Structure 1
Amino acid sequence: MEQTMRWYGPNDPVTLSDIRQAGATGIVTALHEIPNGEVWERKAIRERKKIIEDTGLRWSVVESVPVHEHIKTRSGNFEKLIDNYKETIKNLASEGINIICYNFMPILDWIRTELDHELPNGAKTLNFEIRALAAFDCFILKRQGAKESYPPGIIKKAKTYYENLDATAIEKLKRTILDNLPGAEIGYTLEEFQEALDSYQNIDAPTLEKNLRLFLNEVLPVAEENNVFLAIHPDDPPYPILGLPRIMSTAADIKRILSENDSPNNGITFCTGSLGVRGDNNLVQIIKDYGDHIHFIHLRSTRRDADGNFYEACHLEGDVPMYGVVKEILQLQEKRNKQLPMRPDHGQQLLNDLDIKTNPGYSGIGRLNGLAELRGLMYGILNENA
């Protein structure tokens, strides 16, 4: 696999030099400064690409070209926004960048309820607790019908959890869920977030599925003409939250998305962390079934429980069968005669990272550790019969 790391641009505290020292050769990035929905002009793409190449690296994957909410809901000026997306695809292709990761998650990108969960060894990691989300939903946001979204036992735990939060802890939980996380474009006040939720009042899962299909009907021909591969990222977490539908969470969802828009340029970002949160997702089988449409890979592992809670574990720990996954991907590459870009995802905060403010999940040493673990695993698999 091509070893890459995500980089958030010139203001990222993890520099391109840091990433090169970690052993990566590729960069996964985006023009985060461009407002969601606007065209990425060739000049801006070319300038960012030059910065990367001047450090001896390659811009391997765009993550992400965000899909505007009006496209997801097919409201407002969605036709113009789709035209802008097509133009961005063309401009990226003109500058030699031909893999685009995107998602179709409503409103928020990945959600966690704690960004600095301390592990027994002193490292910190991202954490998701269903009782904390329910506490936010039912007692802070006070979304209409929220209590019907959770089992009664969870509501009881959420109420106790909320009652034990002081004002500072309540504000921290709010900001953790609503603020601008990596991959998201904006943060929200509670009032703004409720308005955003209201915009999905009449959007159920079948409607969102249809809107994705119609979006791909428009952009896939442009991708095909320009040799660009679109790679949809799974939902994170991979189940409905805050009353919002999820349509890219299971193997059945992958099958639907690939079959409804049948094209070699229509593919997935195979994220073991997102898909691995569900025990009913057989990750190795997904590679076997849909490997020809895997255009980009996120390797990380989570530790889950029966209630839907999970935290980001070390890359070779947790519930993801990483040995089987990596072995299957290496066999897939041989079959396709193609090297696929991979990045270690969501590293823990370790060592000096604990004293540095970085994008949540994207500290330097934690991801270096993950990449080193994955590199060693790949080496062992490739040489196990030597």
Structure 2
Amino acid sequence: MKNKNDVGDLKDPDLIPSKNTSIVLKEVKGRIDREDPLSLLGIEPLDFDDAVMELSESLENVSEIRELYKVRKTSVGESANAGISADEAKKLKNCFSQGRELFLAGRNGSLMVKPLNFFFYALTAYTYGIIILNNPLRYRKDMLPGSHGMAYLPAPIQAQFGGDTARGTFSDLVSSFPTHLVKTPSISFSIDCSNSVMELYNTRFEVSLGTLLSMIPEMSEYFELTTGQKSRCYPLEIISANDPRSVTWEFQIGNGESRPPSNCVNEAFEGFPVTERHGKIIVTIQAAKASRIKATIYTDLRGQLWFIENPFFPVILPEVAIHFLITSVFSNIMRYRPDEWGSVLLNEFSSKISLLTRHYFSSFQRKFMLLILRSASRYLPYAT
């Protein structure tokens, strides 16, 4: 039974849409206007696994979770009792504990069952906590719909989401990021993704596994080598530009040889001057206007930025949502096509597909906890 104080989501038929929209927009303004509260944290390679697990365990504390709720949301209040209750924080603690245990149990397990037992279940458990800590319209776990919020289409092996797809974990996860933080040691700003969140409910997308894999920075070289197709990931460097009138940044996209299609760049940076220099695309942006861009920007394992050619524009999916879709597709293949899944893993179907699949799981295993921590903690960790 729905509590009269629940606010639902942006497409809830039982509530006034403008009320929910105003809540989201207020939260977006608060996040863009405030000084970013998250800290970059470099982790030495030799200590990487142990340090990441220590950080993940630090999430499993009721007091810390209550504080994180105030850190990651702005429309909370300043009183000691503001935010979520200790009982609600305990529920999230259990979600985080379950996610970590599933991760540890599957880390050294067989790849034959990893997609479901290891990645999808572990990621889903963590996602519940990520949603409550970030989604402007969710403040109790029992508010979350029971559906996955996306669908698997077995015949074409595709993921379906958005539009009239049943609301659930995936749609709540995407809606948890109405802003997207871009941060380096010298630059920090948040992109306004409120329009993206609203468009998610207006358009249904059907996307192949290959397209999703092409959007993962760590997969870029392997994707091109094994498929013969271009990755959608392009190196991005943001540097200060010489402009005495205002703080201005140059977004330098590409590596001098490969660069994204011009229409993709124009969509992402509409209204900003775009030029070319030494084979790279150069976009000049005043820092005060950086929140207006509509670019999909991901951060890799080592903290480097990547511009992503976005097949879902104007919807901007956070990277953790891309992995949610990928692991969901892989887990469904594993469950419903065990013969084909076994052929892929045993290198009986195609050596290139086997290589691509294995490389995804090995790279995601290393990045898994970084994505969780970047989405739920007070840190933005990366491997130095």
Report the TM range for the smaller structure's normalisation.
Answer: under 0.3
- When normalised by structure 1's length, the TM-score is 0.24
- When normalised by structure 2's length, the TM-score is 0.24
